Structure 1
Amino acid sequence: MKVVIVGGVAGGASCAARLRRLDEQAQIVMVERGPYVSYANCGLPYHVSGVIEQESALLVASPQLFRTNFNIDVRTGCEAIAISRADKTVALRDVATGDVVHEPYDKLVLAPGAASVRPRLPGVDLPGIFEVRTVPDARAIRAWLNRETGALAGMYSYSGTQFVKPERRAVVIGGGFIGLEMAENLAHAGLDVTLLEMQDQVLAPLDPEMARLVEEHLERHGVRLVLADGVAAFRAVAGESLEVDTISGRTFPADIAILALGVRPDTTLARAAGLAVGPRGGIKVDDSMHTSDPHILAVGDAVEVADYVTGEASLVALAGPANRQGRIAADVIAGRPSRFRGSQGTSIIGLFGAAAAWTGVSEKTLQRRGDTDYEKIYLFPNSRAGYYPGAKMLGMKVLFPRSDGRLLGVQAFGEDGPAVDKRISTLAMALQMGATVYDLEEAELCYAPQFGSAKDPVNFAGMVAADVLRGDMPLTHWGVEDGAFLLDVRQPVELTVEHVQGAVNIPLGELRQRLGELPRDRDIHVICRSAQRAYYATRILIQNGFRARNISGGMLSRALSTG
């Protein structure tokens, strides 16, 4: 059996190595149009800033390793340009010479990845404008930043008795993973950074109020955010510098600009071969990674997969799913009944020591689908025991159906990055296993004060959500007061910092003695800082015959919802 794999990196390289482990006799050819067959593109922003010092550290596996250890015919600088499904051949062009050969196959695996979005804008091809997709891209950015002649090194102004080198300026266009990571790493490299994003939030998978936490953190670390405004044009100015014009008419000076506008599935080869393309624009595959041609499989960023929660077709440009898909394709080719169960989009991004992470669906997705059988809670637990040094607050949003409490999605942000990673990874596995919020209540997790609390944030999320579903904590949210009586149970001193217009303040410790001041013919919505004291107050009120609801997340969630 001869298998040709088009593309390396995550999906293609994983498929090739797995297939060799399963079938020693198969003839395996892996082609890659670039110079590297397997590299860590997720590490590119960190190489730009020097956090990852050596370029070689990004090279996961060399062609020689694949040849020696796996007996795989690896051809770099080799581009697949056409597929003849009738003849079961793929045309391969040598990038350097232009020579074309027609390689026969029994099975063909497409792993072309996704191409960076590069809009046709005035000036987009000027020097100093870069993408961040490949190792050569990172090399070019480092060379631009480190060059010893030209504008950045040669322009000085006189200040008193010394010449002062001007601060270097970067404009990053795009507020997704690569955009934010490049903003962070350029800031670490000493540049003044402006980030432009067309949407009104960064990190589109997050709900807007959770994205606010990320935006505030970026701004605290010196990144200038320009939201709801896209790039319109680039212009060259004196001394190799640039000006970036926006749709709204603003102009931002830059010594370097980074295009990080996302990626599109590379379906050129598949479309030309007549393979089916799905509604999201990716190659259509079944759960065994077969395309519409039974002899051709596809994996990685170029394919559409089922959303694990909703079942909808989705595009997931993540290394983890691509690796699993590559393994599954190899299993299927080797005759094993392997299936891809779909992706829940579990992701994390680190920013200046903090992290934002998520798994499952967002509230935006549920609203777009017209789903109404869901509830959400906000909670703000500590990353570790509150008495242990270094405890930081985590902001979490949990989504679940009112009907059965099954976990639908979770989002989190915190300045203690590893603590965010731990909780979302735990909750991602719970979601994958079909767990409910009741299961989270009972989850037995590691505990020591430097790592968490005896009641871990995962447990805490389950307890709060289960209280809602059991009716122990009737819940409401900001913006749905509907004429309710607002009761603030914080201490008076807290109201000097922030307060809600029209709310009546009765501190929790005085509530039992002052019940006569509250109406029995109106809903009472209870407020505190994070909703914990409001929960205690709600229990007191309900058991004394009042109609009370806790405003989820308290003043902390109000700050998010109001921007």
Structure 2
Amino acid sequence: MLLQRAGVNVYRKAPRAATAVHAMATQAGGPKKVLIVGGVAGGASCAARLRRMDEKAEITIFERGPYVSFANCGLPYYVGEIIKEQSALLVANAAKFNKWFNVDVKESTEVVSIDRQAKQVVARDVKTGAETTYPYDYLVLSPGGNAVRPPLPGVDLPGIFSVKTIPDANAIKNWIAEKDAKTAVVIGGGFIGLEMIENLVHRGIKTSLVEMLPQVMPPYDPEVVEPVHERLRAKGVELHLGDGVAGFEAGPGGKGLVVKTASGKAHAADLVVLAIGVKPETSLAKAAGLELGGRGGIKTDAHMRTSDPAIFAVGDAVEVKDYVTGEMTLIPLAGPANRQGRIVADVITGNEPSTFRGSQGTSVLGLFGMTLAATGASEKTLKRIKRDYKKVYLHINNHAGYYPGAKQIDMKLLFDPKDGKILGMQASGEDGVEKRVDVVAFALQKGATVFDLEEAELCYAPQFGSAKDPVNMIGMVAANVMRGMHPLTNWDELDLQQVAADPNAVLVDVREPAELEKVGKVAGCVNMPLSSLRQALGTLQDKDKKYYVYCQVGLRGYVATRQFLQNGFDAINVSGGYKSFQQIISPKL
């Protein structure tokens, strides 16, 4: 899920005499003085581990907002009243940090400047405006990211909200109650946008989505999210894709809002949620002269040090190395932020070899009973960086088909054609999706190949999986491609018009005739059912032609392709069968 933290935060002013004494104690080899700007994930995890590693360190967290550590991933569900009480979102409050870890937490306090030469910060009390100076031996920046609020006409009208903090969520809840909101427009189809859609619908609010791109979940490949489009429409959500927001107006008579789009359309709503994304909060770092990276985030080394060796940075505000591509990027996720906070604590306390290896962007989304998950590079990314790759699709039950309740998982695996090294995976379905992506995520982290997936030993009982788990199966498909045993192509690599016009090419559907009538077929195909294929091949004379074979999900197509090949025919299987055709080609028709 996406991490959006409360940003720069600071604390109350300490007595100057005590500060001076502490500064002298530090210079004389006394306890380390560590200031942490921002709590929530990265900053809070850093503080907790620092205390576990060093009982004597003086640790202070500055939090600009009123809550030092809260579950921001739960905000949409709090709006949707799945999470009933605000208190459930509070991971740790100031009192708990003080009692458990002897950490001084200064909420509603914003660090406004850093004096690197003097090694001190100035913090302002948000409520009173009073400013205090705090010295440090080490400074940790965990300011998070700011919700993008584009400078569009009418963007500051009442009823237009972002979703980043608990006060944001409370403002939305209050607006819904006060205005008796019946309709909503969500701007942006990423993690937060889709989660807000689900929760608004859960509350009985008719909701529409406006997304500038032609798909939701932009980091994912288009065909992978096509089932998500279908599920959203099935739940009554109006999708306005490929049409960005252009501005906002008050509704007729000043009641409600009107969302204007680039195409000239207008969508009425009682409330609007801006979920366009986040940008790194780097103003404090920039003003202090710290080096920024090419993506606009704070630049750090493998130990999360900034260009100033006494200052570290973690979380949404920092650039990280993409584990697959090696590029520097921004990945605002909670998991990496927590790990980075721990690494900084280790480095400060002397465990210097502790390093951040980079992030592979492992993520998951739950939406109306569906699960969408991914790890590593997408095909879009691999194309952009001109990285050579192969891909395979698999549509398979999450557990043994004979056990009641089996649900299909749609899987896409990307791998290096030279050695079979895993590059990325995306999957969607209703059950067991994240389990498979987690397995592949760890395999990718360890530099594993498709042959390792083929041999992976995983839990099996009929209600949980199959003797050949979906992870094994997609590994087997890819491994057979690597071995040359499974000639494979994909629908987006196949020019169907050219195949239809070529007298030496045949598109073969090996499903049973009843399936074609019920489910549909690709125009121009020849039906040669697998059940009678051996007999048909015995009389088929056209060995000079090339046969493009497909079935429903790919397995029978593979079996049929092997029969073609071993009978002297030139054949190739189309990965994922008709199911992949429906996700890749049908939306474009």
Determine helix, strand or coil for the equivalent of 2:365: strand
How far the C-alpha of 1:522 sits from its partner, in A, is 2.6
Match of residue 278 from structure 1: 293
2:491 counterpart SS class:
coil
The yes-or-no answer on 1:95 pairing with 2:123 is: no
**Counterparts of 1:451 and 1:146, CA distance in 2:** 42
Which runs of structure 2 are paired with 1:524-539 in the superposition (5 Å)?
524-539=547-562
Say if 2:542 is the partner of 1:519: yes
Map of 2:207 onto structure 1: 193
- Which of 458, 472, 485 is residue 506 of structure 2 equivalent to? 485
- Amino acid paired to 2:491: W
Choose from 470, 492, 495 the match for 1:457.
470
Which position in structure 1 is the counterpart of 2:26?
none
Q: Which of 505, 511, 520 is residue 527 of structure 2 equivalent to?
A: 505
Instruction: Tell me the SS of whatever aligns to 1:284.
Output: coil
Partner of 1:495: 516
Which residues in structure 2 correspond to 1:537-552 (within 5 Å)?
A: 537-552=560-575
In 1, the alpha carbon distance for the partners of 2:119 and 2:457 equals: 53
Matching residue's letter, 1:343: S
- What is the aligned partner in structure 2 of residue 16 from structure 1? 47
Provide the secondary structure at the position in 2 that maps to 1:123. coil
Tell me which residue corresponds to 1:391.
406
1:138-188 Cα distance to aligned partner (Å, 9 max, x none): 1111111122xxx53xxxxxxxxxxxxxx8101000000000000000000
Paired position in structure 1 for 2:238:
224
Q: Does the 8 Å contact 1:39/1:59 carry over to 2? A: yes
Counterpart residue number, 2:191: 177
- Aligned match of 1:554: 577
In the alignment, the residues of structure 2 paired with residue 553 and residue 299 of structure 1 have an alpha-carbon distance, to the nearest angstrom, of 40
Report Cα offsets for 1:76-104 as digits up to 9, x if no partner.
11101111111111111111111112211
2:51 pairs with 1:51: no
- Tell whether 2:346 aligns with 1:315: no
Give the counterpart of 1:35 among 66, 76, 84.
66
Any conservation in 2 of the 1:41–1:58 contact (CA below 8 Å)? yes
Match of 1:65 in 2: 96
Structure-2 separation of matches of 1:524 and 1:281 = 50
Confirm or deny: 8 A CA contact 1:356 1:413 kept in the other structure. Answer: yes
Q: Distance in 2 between matches of 1:284 and 1:296?
A: 11
Instruction: In structure 1, list runs of 5 or more residues that go unmatched.
Output: 153-166
The separation in 2 between residues aligned to 1:320 and 1:215, in whole angstroms, is 27
User: Secondary structure, in 3 states, of the residue corresponding to 1:408?
Assistant: strand
Task: Give 3-state SS (helix, strand or coil) of 2:547's partner.
Answer: strand
Identity %: 59
Which letter does structure 2 place at the counterpart of 1:208? P
Q: Which residue of 1 aligns with 2:260?
A: 245
Matched, 1:82 2:113: yes
Partner AA of 1:492 in structure 2: P
Letter in 1 for 2:381: T
SS at match of 2:95: helix
Give the Cα–Cα distance (whole angstroms) in 2 for the partners of residues 415 and 19 of structure 1. 40
Residue 581 of structure 2 aligns to a residue whose secondary structure is helix
Letter in 2 for 1:108: L
Distance, in Å, in 2 between the alignment partners of 1:275 and 1:547 is 61
Is the partner of 1:447 in helix, strand or coil? coil
Structure 2: distance between partners of 1:217 and 1:435: 34
Question: Residues of 1 paired with 2:134 and 2:543: CA distance?
Answer: 81
SS in 1 for 2:167: helix
Amino acid in the other structure paired with 1:487: V
Distance in 1, matches of 2:318 and 2:298, equals 4
Q: How far is the alpha carbon of 1:240 from its aligned partner? A: 3.3
CA contact (8 A) 1:127 1:240 kept: no
SS in 2 for 1:461: helix
What are the within-5 Å matches in structure 2 for residues 83-162 of structure 1?
A: 83-147=114-178, 151-152=179-180
How far the C-alpha of 1:330 sits from its partner, in A, is 0.4
Report the residue type matching 2:524 in the other structure: G
Amino acid at match of 1:61: A
CA distance, structure 2, for counterparts of residue 217 and residue 541 of structure 1: 38
Name the counterpart of 2:440. 427
Provide the rounded CA distance (Å) in 1 between the counterparts of 2:76 and 2:513.
47
| Normalised TM-score (structure 2) | 0.91
Cα deviation code 1:377-423 (max 9, x no counterpart): 0100001211222111111000001111111100000022xx11111
Task: Report the AA paired with residue 430 of structure 1.
Answer: A
Alpha-carbon distance in structure 2 between the residues aligned to 1:500 and 1:208: 20
Q: In structure 2, the residue corresponding to 1:252 is in which secondary structure?
A: strand
Q: How does 1:470-481 map to 2 (within 5 A)?
A: 470-479=483-492, 480-481=494-495
Rounded Cα–Cα distance in structure 2 between residues aligned with 1:445 and 1:422: 11
Partner Cα separation in structure 2 for residue 116 and residue 518 of structure 1:
64
Name structure 2 gaps, 5 residues minimum.
1-31, 500-504
Are 2:365 and 1:354 aligned? no
Distance 2:433 2:514 in 1: 31
Matched AA of 1:549: I
1:203 equivalent to 2:217? Answer yes
Q: Tell me which residue corresponds to 1:381.
A: 396
1:107-163: CA deviation from partner (whole Å, max 9, x where unpaired): 10000000000011111111111110000001111111122xxx53xxxxxxxxxxx
Instruction: In structure 2, give the amino acid aligned to 1:381.
Output: I
CA distance in 1, matches of 2:574, 2:471: 20
**d(CA) in 2 for partners of 1:274, 1:98:** 25
State the shift of 1:523 in Å: 2.0
Q: Distance in 2 between matches of 1:218 and 1:280?
A: 32
Amino acid at match of 1:296: I
Q: Which amino acid aligns with 1:254?
A: A
- The answer to which of 327-336 and 97-106 deviates more is 97-106
Aligned residues: 543
The alpha carbon displacement at 1:239 in A equals 5.8
Give the Cα–Cα distance (whole angstroms) in 1 for the partners of residues 337 and 148 of structure 2: 20
**2 CA distance for matches of 1:303 and 1:520?**
59
2:277 to 258, 262, 268: 262
- Cα 1:297–1:518, aligned 2, differ >3 Å: closer, same or farther? farther
